[in-house]
């Protein structure tokens, strides 16, 4: 299961493409795994009918499948094959960088070579020459504006603050998009703004998150989810679904694109405002604005907003309730930025 990723241009003039994903062993229904699944079903008060549904069984077994360790990983770009330096980790994850030959990129992604806009490459990843999967890699120019977006309760209805609703939305129901957000994100795509979807949702939910993004016509972009393995002593963590791990993914993006400016979009349900404030404070030249969806069931406290604005007096920090409000706020910000650029 390769993850949608990105490529960046190094100072030496060579493109580096991030290759990441997960390899898992077939599900084996051991006693301990059946007990974990049963405990999770009890916590969410799922009915017998819900527990026997294909949706529940597919999603919950995804959390207890074991990783495949020590496998070699290759990727194909056009006719060229590249070997990752490291094999899959104990949890089945792999992560690495490849540098395609200039002639390959000149043929497949001429816009990237000319630094004239975004380009997307199809990437085929194979493991031990037996398993394979495909994904896309977006080649992003060194300069411009990028959008970092949270997923849960920002573009997907998750109800993070309500444990019962969160679990039901995660394991028992179809994923639902926040009304109007896909149209706003497509308008940014039309302006040439790359998207990075950064979430603390576990990577086990990747197939259904991708399904939602595609079905609702959200623009493609890199996906950064959290490593997580369900164990007995960690059950409380999946029950609470702590929202953590976003900072490292965003810092990687800031490091790889030192000349780009970033717009951060999140929600008031958890700590998006504080995460973005800390990152913007330590990367002042990168940050362009912070926009937080103000959830009706958990409105943002004035003190939180005031602390953020006071610590970042030169940064645009706004809240929004509807997608249309966000569209207007971002449009105004982009107009100001483009005017400065002129």
Domains plus CATH for the chain? 5-24+67-139 (2.60.40), 144-341 (3.40.50.1000)
Q: Count Cβ atoms below 10 Å from residue 185 Cβ, excluding itself.
A: 26
- Helix, strand, coil % in the chain, rounded to nearest 5: 40, 25, 35
Q: What percent of the chain shows pLDDT beyond 70? A: 92
Copy the structure tokens of residue 55.
Answer: 């949706």
Nearest alpha-carbon partner for 320 in 267, 264, 263: 267
pLDDT of residue 131: 79
Lowest-confidence pick of 117-131, 209-223, 233-247, 251-265: 233-247
What distance in Å separates the CA atoms of residue 313 and residue 334, rounded to the nearest whole number? 18
Please, are residues 241 and 160 in contact by the beta-carbon 8 Å criterion?
Answer: yes
Helices 163-171 and 54-62, packing angle to 10 deg? 100
Is the dihedral angle over the CA atoms 325, 326, 331, 336 positive or is it negative?
positive
pLDDT band at 22 (very low <50, low <70, confident <90, very high): very high
pLDDT of residue 309: 95
Residue where the block lists tokens 């100001």: 336
pLDDT of residue 234: 47
Q: Is the pTM of this model over 0.85?
A: yes
pLDDT of residue 207: 93
126: three-class secondary structure by DSSP: strand
Structural Rg of the chain based on CA atoms = 21
CA 31 from chain center: how many Å?
33
pLDDT of residue 102: 85
Q: Which long-range contacts (CB under 8 A, 24 or more apart) does 160-167 make?
A: 160/241, 160/243, 160/269, 160/270, 161/269, 161/295, 161/297, 161/298, 162/297, 163/239, 163/240, 164/44, 164/45, 166/241, 167/40, 167/43, 167/44, 167/239
Strand order in the sheet with 316-320: 222-226, 195-202, 144-149, 260-267, 287-293, 316-320
> Does residue 192 carry a pLDDT above 70?
yes
DSSP 24: B
Q: What is the mean pLDDT of residues 159-171?
A: 82
């Amino acid at each position: 299961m390769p993850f949608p990723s990105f490529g960046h241009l190094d100072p030496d003039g060579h493109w580096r493409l991030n290759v990441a994903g997960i390899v898992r062993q077939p599900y084996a229904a051991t006693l301990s795994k059946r007990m974990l699944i049963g405990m999770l079903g009890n916590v969410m008060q799922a009915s017998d009918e819900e527990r026997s549904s294909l949706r529940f069984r597919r999603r919950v077994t995804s959390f207890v499948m074991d990783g495949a360790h020590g496998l070699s990983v290759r990727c194909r770009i056009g006719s060229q094959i590249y070997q990752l330096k490291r094999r899959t980790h104990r949890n089945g994850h792999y992560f690495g960088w490849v540098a395609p030959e200039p002639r390959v990129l000149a043929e497949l992604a001429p816009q990237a070579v000319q630094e004239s806009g975004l380009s997307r490459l199809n990437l085929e990843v194979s493991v031990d020459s037996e398993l394979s999967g495909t994904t896309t890699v977006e080649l992003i120019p060194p300069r411009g504006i990028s959008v970092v977006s949270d997923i849960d309760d920002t573009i997907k209805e998750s109800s993070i603050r309500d444990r019962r609703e969160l679990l039901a939305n995660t394991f028992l129901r179809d994923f639902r998009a926040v009304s109007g957000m896909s149209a706003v994100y497509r308008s940014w795509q039309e302006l040439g703004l790359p998207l990075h979807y950064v979430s603390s949702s576990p990577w086990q939910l990747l197939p259904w998150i991708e399904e939602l993004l595609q079905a609702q016509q959200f623009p493609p972009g890199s996906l950064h989810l959290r490593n997580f393995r369900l164990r007995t002593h960690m059950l409380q963590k999946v029950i609470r679904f702590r929202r953590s791990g976003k900072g490292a993914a965003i810092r990687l993006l800031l490091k790889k694109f030192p000349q780009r400016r970033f717009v951060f979009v999140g929600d008031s349900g958890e700590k998006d405002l504080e995460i973005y404030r800390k990152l913007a404070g330590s990367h002042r030249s990168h940050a362009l604005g912070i926009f937080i969806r103000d959830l009706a069931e958990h409105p943002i406290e004035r003190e939180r907003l005031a602390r953020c604005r006071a610590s970042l007096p030169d940064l645009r920090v706004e809240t929004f309730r509807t997608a249309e409000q966000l569209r207007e706020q971002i449009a105004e910000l982009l107009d100001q930025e483009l005017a400065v650029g002129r």
